Structure 1
Amino acid sequence: MRQLYPRLLLSLLILTLCHLSFAQSTGRVSGRIKSSDGKGAPYVNVGLAGTIKGTVTGEDGFYTIQGVTPGTYTVTCSFVGLQPQESQVTVTAGKTTNVDFELAENAAQISEVVVTAGKTLNKKPLNIGKIAISPLDMPQSMSIINSEVIADQQASKLSDVIKNVNGVALGTTRGSTAETFFARGYNLGANNIFKNGARSNSAVIPEASTLERVEVLKGSAALLYGNVSGGAIINMVTKQPKFEYGGEVALRAGSYNLFKPIADVYGPVSQNLAFRLIGTYETAESYRNSVESKRFYVNPSLLYKLGSRTNILVQGDYLNNEFTPDFGIGTLDGKIPTSIDRSAFYNAPWAYNRVKQRTTSATVDHQLNDTWKLNFIGSQQTFDRDYFSTERIQADADGDWGRLLTRSDISENYHTGQINLNGEFKTFGLGHTILIGADAERYLNTTHAFRISSLGKGNVYDSINILNPAKFTPRTDEPLATATMRTETPTYRFGTYVQDLINVSEKFKVLAGLRWSYQKVAVAKQHNLETGEVKNSTTAVTKYDRAFSPRVGLVYQPTATTSLFASYSNNFTPNTGRDVNQQNLKPSLIDQYEVGVKNDLVKDRLSVNVTVYRIINNDLALQAQYLADGVTLNTDATIKEFTGQTTSDGVEVDLNGSIVPGLTFLAGYSYNYMRYTDTPGTTGSYMEGERLVSNPAHTANATLFYTLKTTALKGLKIGASGFYTGERNAGWNNQVGQAQKFNRLIPVTGYTTFDVSLGYAIKQFSILGKLSNITNELNYLVHENYSVNPIPPRQFVTTVAYKF
């Protein structure tokens, strides 16, 4: 693996040299847009009049429009709520034409309208897309939730942000120690969560209050990232340094003793070096009795400009999170006991979940010339989880429950690297926007087995009754747990890919790409901690997976603001874990078909997008419910089974924009129908036509914020949000000839929550309050058939901030 990175770099450098000869056929326009006080103006629209060529300035005010055919153009500069400007330029092949603008407003005035400025949903290229292609040119659905929405909604968890993305529904994990999401019918596990473009562990709730934005690429992303599910990928983008001094200090407080100071400071160290340091600390109790959390997060970063063509960004972060494992109210005779109070807690008083996560990354962007760019991202992440808790609340009809225990100590270590070459050229009159890249990853998973002392018959810790707590006297002591075995399992991944956006004409484009993926899961090495013996696992062999993942899409743009698209892609998804016979699992192949329309309306102030899709998984792998004997419940998430072919059909509608200055809104609706469409039909197989558990049929979201700009109440902010999650099933899907005589599905009703916000800002000071779930709606997030967690009740949170 150490030898892969030099080879990747050499290969792409050779490819670069091969394509440089094409670079001279077009030119580019670049420059900087400043405010009247000399600061860079972010999020300003810049375009070439009469063409679809355009871009948006970065936070430092710089912009670049690449691949411009030689000729004379009018460069336009527009900003919602401000006076547009324009300048005439002549573009020469192989040259860069510089055009700067200065706005009449100062940085403080611009910041008041920055939320409503420029970047509509269809003009925000995603970093996770690895190439700066306009979303109108991409035959795929995507969403971005920016820092303004995150701040306005006072989001702290990733789920607070993702609920603004239609078609992505919140789920939960065992013990509610982490969040999980479902998109287009698929669980977005560890392989689908990224941070700054690099894979990130998802077994902890990330800190979201300090994020710059969250990007969601819906559907298949296999071409770019290999073994990801067919639902979506999520990329968390942290805030970057700036070459001007500034920052913010804030204090957030709310219901259940929430206390959260936040600090953010940035500025230049020298002419070419800038820094940023963000940190937050949070303590909170909960509407759930005895549940507490403590979080500490810090995110330092440095940006170095090595000349005019090279940027080096170094980022790091550290998260220390302590949270009480909480299985909620559990199930009663296989059903949700709605008569139990939402605050009832049934875990042991000593239960704990302690997580430490450290991430470092380096990103190098080098502009080879006017039309070719090289990007490298290297990252390393460590994750440690120390967990001890009671397990699985599954009470009988009388309420009795024999509490079992789980002790785990898990470490994960990721080393990732990727290199991408972006360029533009022409052949035979066709324009090409090409991406050539490769990525590699080494992942080491370390787990421990424990022997727990002083347990009763059947390894039961004790018995309690969830309906009558006085029936039994619960134990309060923490048993001795001794580590007996350490197991280390390395995984190696490698992939190469090429993607080409071909401009057949000004209105018709073709996107084509192909990826080759390789994955090796080595035999686990087992360390007996009692005898000192070290040996390889005898229950599995080294597993190799290889596959090609193609992608093709057609884009037709009848106008500069409307795009119609259709696409096909294939996912190669290696399945981790083993079957009930301890054998490696074959990969699943997933076909996705997607059609849609993207529109920018009302002078680019409103985006309206509609997408329809079908995703077919040839064989879905899920955690096996029973072990090989068919009777013993399986509690090991790495033991899985193939459940048959599934088909996921759906439609998604996105609205996003700002019709008038000061007003921002986003809204969406989605429908999904994922069911089994081909199973063996024999005893034990899943039932065809049955909708898969954990996937709501309908979801919807809407958020609106309005800030008064001109009245005597200038600075007053009003906001409202609504979120709907439709009916879904928890539990387990039914099987033909199942031993249970009752339906294994646990129906969960749909629910809607409403939030209202009110705030005021004057000069550098601001205060913002939010009342969430104002109707005090009661519903549940259910993991399988034993972790039933009530949603939060009505709560209040407020943030006081000072910007400098």
Structure 2
Amino acid sequence: MKPLNYACRLSVLSLSLAAIFSAQAQNSIETIEVKGERQAYRGEFVHLETPESIFEFDAELIENTGLTDLTDVLDMSASVSRQNSLGGLWDSYAIRGFFGDENVPSGYLVNGFNAGRGFSGPRDVSGIERIEVLKGPKAALYGRGEPGGSINLVTKKATFEDASSVQLTAGNRAHRRFEADINTVISDDVAGRFIGFYQEEDSFRDTIETQKQGLMASLVFEQSERSRISYDLEYAEQEIPFDRGIIAIGGNFDFMPIERFLGEPGDGPTTTSVLGHQLQWTYDLNDTWELSSAVAYRQTELDSISSDAEIAPQFQKFYLDGQTLARQHRERRYDTDQYVVRFEVAGEFETGSITHNIIAGIDYDRFEYDRAYLVARGAPLATNPSDQDMYAINVHNPVYGQVTAGKRLPAIVRQQNQWATGIYIQNQIELTDALQVRLGGRFDSMTQTLDDKVRNFETDQSETRFSPQLGVVYQVANNWSVYSTYGEGYRLNFGADVKGNTFDPNETDSLEFGSKWSLLDNNLDITLAYFDSEQKNIIVVDTVSGGQSAIGKASSAGYELDIAGQLPADIEVRFSYMYLDAQVEEDYVDTGIYAPIKRGDDLLNIPENSASLQVSQDYLISGNALTIGAGLQYVDERLGQRGADFYLPSYVTANLFANYDINDQWTVKAQVHNAFDRTHFTNSYTQFWVQPGEPRKVLLSTSYKF
């Protein structure tokens, strides 16, 4: 048994036993109220005081819609667009048109930590209290990041109130899910919360089945009125078939049924696993100053064997006969370890009539990435190969297991480590009752080492970076403010060129102007923003050496409108719209398909217009609560392959949901995703790897509170 899987099982067993025994604690234990936990790096500012745009999804909305995957929830923000998810193996998204390294999952923050890196599979949102889309550059405080923004997951914490629930969900395509949430008071000053899930289902894709399970745990120790310690655990295992999707050569999306699978069921599922820990301590020095420290560790594994459509023309017979698909046989073994440590102090002081709101701290981040990638490639067309030689399958009548792949040979075997130590400070200065200025910056010292086993070389890299942040907020009226902000960011690039030299860091800068309103007694928040960002040192093909160089550049500019809150008549609304102009700024050659890219070309999978609307209303039926809601998502056409006139069609999908409390304990729910059964395509990498969206899905569930 693998060490990580063994450790995961031990953690699950021990925490499950703890939950069982703690649930027997006497009901007479005195409960105490838990104070709201301030998020690290964030400070305490209301909506109108921040020179930035934030869009949130709380647990109630997530539960009402019945969405369980992070990417599905992020679809409700127009600022986030789906990217190549490597056959469904991980979450991959762009914020305001920019994304990170397409060969690794998109990173995210967990309770303010840079602790969402690694190969843990698509993130289940069980155990998540809210999801924050933090727009604009965040590197001045958080460290490495993308210019478009960051995603922060705030986990559910233990409270000093005994409350538990279980939920069963069933749906079409053999969907089955069990979820439990146990919150218990263990003693006068210790509380625990244990959230677990198990899910399995068939796919609309032929031969595809998925299975996942996980446990999130939270322990809280209230040492005193001033001091608090909390621990969070994340464990998950998944079995996900590797699925590149369908072929849509020349934009013919009816060329084959969206159900047809072109891989090999005999490859078996990809397995992913994660075990993560977070330990945090906060101490109130006085009424205005707080000290916090934290440490986190996260380990992930991914093991996969897949049969992928060949995309190089010199190897692909499909270009000749329109039916014989040459494939590669690939194996992936990825392991990561991440360590994060942080110390922070936050508070305020006055100099005369001016108030200073300070956040200052130091953090350390270490990321270890062990990658083994092996490939068996078919013979080139020039050798007149047989179907066996090409590891081919007939796209119109696939017969699985008919051909045998050749021996997989190492293409990439490397160990890459990254260390970063950062010092950051932010001062939001209240110059007058209406005018605030934010000054911030972060200095990072970074080291990266690379041990390449295939090319047999070792190299290292050291960088120092200062990331500034400037912002101004002016409150025009009690419910209206305007702001502007500027920030810079960075991210170390993985890999090395043909000479063994590491790449320059990816660098970004972003400028933003916006206006905010809080209406209807501060129940409705509106943000209108314009942003202009640039990213450089993107990894591209070096046409001189035949390797890669960090010479790519891209820009992203657009407008956003976010509306969130409560309208009269108990109507909840979340609306998000974005217009985006994202394009290449320098000619280069694409690293994946060696296609020439020209300045002015669109960025991959980035729509010009996108919008999302979620509306719900509460009623009382026989004295019990009924919630009915609906959602719409619009995504404009998007470039589906770099260097080609291939675009994914625009689409509109609709979701419906209803929740009814039968009594204080029992609740029944119904959700319909893609209610009108619209055929749509969410993302692609080439015309051979196009991901169809899921057809109509109906879910029914019941939950019991005790």
**TM-score of Structure 1 vs Structure 2, range by shorter chain:** 0.7 to 0.9
1:60-459 → structure 2 map (5 Å cutoff)? 60=33, 62=35, 127=39, 129-188=41-100, 190=105, 192-198=107-113, 199-201=115-117, 203=119, 204-332=121-249, 335-351=251-267, 352-392=269-309, 394=311, 395-396=318-319, 398-450=322-374
Q: Is the 8 A contact 2:246 2:690 kept in 1?
A: yes
1:504 aligns with 2:419: no
Aligned residues: CA RMSD: 2.9
Residue matched to 2:402 = 475
Q: Secondary structure of 1:223's match?
A: helix
Residue matched to 1:793 = 695
Q: Secondary structure of 1:149's match?
A: helix
The residue identity in structure 1 corresponding to 2:460 is T
The residue identity in structure 1 corresponding to 2:67 is A
Change (3 A) 1:511 1:264: same
- The Cα shift of 1:283 comes to 0.6
The residue identity in structure 1 corresponding to 2:702 is V
Q: Secondary structure of 1:133's match?
A: coil
1:594 aligns with 2:512: yes
The residue identity in structure 2 corresponding to 1:556 is Y
Residue matched to 2:581 = 673
1:39 & 1:556 partners in 2: Cα distance?
46
Q: Is the 8 A contact 1:188 1:231 kept in 2?
A: no
Q: Is the 8 A contact 1:299 1:318 kept in 2?
A: yes
- The Cα shift of 1:542 comes to 0.8
Q: Secondary structure of 1:613's match?
A: strand
Residue matched to 2:617 = 706
- The Cα shift of 1:338 comes to 2.4
Change (3 A) 1:719 1:169: same
2:72 & 2:94 partners in 1: Cα distance?
15
Change (3 A) 1:461 1:300: farther
Q: Is the 8 A contact 2:338 2:365 kept in 1?
A: yes
Q: Secondary structure of 1:522's match?
A: strand
1:745 & 1:465 partners in 2: Cα distance?
26
TM-score, normalization: structure 2?
Answer: 0.87
1:662 aligns with 2:570: yes
- The Cα shift of 1:468 comes to 4.3
Q: Secondary structure of 1:696's match?
A: coil
Q: Secondary structure of 1:159's match?
A: helix
Residue matched to 1:693 = 604
Q: Secondary structure of 1:256's match?
A: coil
Q: Is the 8 A contact 1:594 1:614 kept in 2?
A: yes
Residue matched to 1:5 = none
1:580 & 1:745 partners in 2: Cα distance?
31
2:405 & 2:238 partners in 1: Cα distance?
21
Structure 2 runs not aligned, ≥5 long: 1-28, 312-317
Change (3 A) 1:257 1:128: farther
- The Cα shift of 1:164 comes to 1.8
- The Cα shift of 1:427 comes to 1.2
TM-score, normalization: structure 1?
Answer: 0.77
1:546-625 → structure 2 map (5 Å cutoff)? 546-579=464-497, 581-617=499-535, 619-622=536-539, 624=541
Change (3 A) 1:401 1:580: farther
Q: Tell me which structure has the larger Cα radius of gyration.
A: 1
Q: Is the 8 A contact 2:304 2:333 kept in 1?
A: yes
Change (3 A) 1:605 1:756: same
Q: Is the 8 A contact 1:137 1:555 kept in 2?
A: yes
2:506 & 2:604 partners in 1: Cα distance?
19
1:622 & 1:593 partners in 2: Cα distance?
23
RCO (CA 8 Å, sep 6+): is it higher in 1 or 2? 2
Residue matched to 1:520 = 447
Q: Is the 8 A contact 1:548 1:572 kept in 2?
A: no
Residue matched to 2:557 = 649
Q: Is the 8 A contact 1:154 1:209 kept in 2?
A: no
- The Cα shift of 1:479 comes to 7.0
How much identity, in percent, do the aligned residues show? 22
Q: Is the 8 A contact 1:433 1:502 kept in 2?
A: yes
Q: Secondary structure of 2:187's match?
A: coil
1:771 aligns with 2:687: no
1:173 & 1:745 partners in 2: Cα distance?
22
1:159 & 1:242 partners in 2: Cα distance?
28
Q: Is the 8 A contact 1:728 1:749 kept in 2?
A: yes
The residue identity in structure 1 corresponding to 2:673 is S
- The Cα shift of 1:135 comes to 3.1
1:751 & 1:212 partners in 2: Cα distance?
30
1:231 & 1:162 partners in 2: Cα distance?
14
Provide, for residues 514-560 of structure 1, a one-character-per-residue CA deviation record: whole Å limited to 9, x for no partner. 1111211113164x9xxxxxxxx754521112111111111001223
Change (3 A) 1:271 1:547: same
Change (3 A) 1:299 1:746: same
- The Cα shift of 1:760 comes to 1.3
The residue identity in structure 2 corresponding to 1:339 is F
- The Cα shift of 1:574 comes to 2.5
Q: Is the 8 A contact 2:540 2:552 kept in 1?
A: no
1:719 & 1:370 partners in 2: Cα distance?
42
Residue matched to 1:89 = none
Q: Secondary structure of 1:542's match?
A: strand
Q: Secondary structure of 1:288's match?
A: coil
Q: Secondary structure of 2:646's match?
A: strand
The residue identity in structure 1 corresponding to 2:479 is T
Give the one of 410, 418, 436 matched to 1:491: 418
Provide, for residues 458-486 of structure 1, a one-character-per-residue CA deviation record: whole Å limited to 9, x for no partner. 8956211213447xx75366877688996
1:681-760 → structure 2 map (5 Å cutoff)? 686-709=597-620, 711-712=621-622, 714-732=624-642, 734=643, 744-760=644-660
Aligned residues: 655
The residue identity in structure 2 corresponding to 1:176 is G
1:337 & 1:641 partners in 2: Cα distance?
35
Provide, for residues 689-748 of structure 1, a one-character-per-residue CA deviation record: whole Å limited to 9, x for no partner. 222221111110001111203x5474222110001111110111x3xxxxxxxxx24111
Provide, for residues 107-151 of structure 1, a one-character-per-residue CA deviation record: whole Å limited to 9, x for no partner. xxxxxxxxxxxxxxxxxx983643222232111111111100110
Q: Secondary structure of 1:341's match?
A: coil
Change (3 A) 1:694 1:578: farther
Q: Secondary structure of 2:266's match?
A: coil
Q: Secondary structure of 1:658's match?
A: strand
Give the one of 765, 782, 801 matched to 2:683: 782
Q: Secondary structure of 2:459's match?
A: coil
Q: Secondary structure of 2:73's match?
A: helix
Q: Is the 8 A contact 1:676 1:688 kept in 2?
A: yes
1:712 & 1:516 partners in 2: Cα distance?
60
Q: Secondary structure of 2:122's match?
A: coil
Q: Is the 8 A contact 1:487 1:525 kept in 2?
A: yes
Change (3 A) 1:424 1:492: same
Q: Secondary structure of 1:648's match?
A: strand
Q: Is the 8 A contact 1:451 1:484 kept in 2?
A: yes
The residue identity in structure 2 corresponding to 1:300 is A
Q: Secondary structure of 1:127's match?
A: coil
Q: Secondary structure of 1:596's match?
A: strand
Change (3 A) 1:307 1:214: same
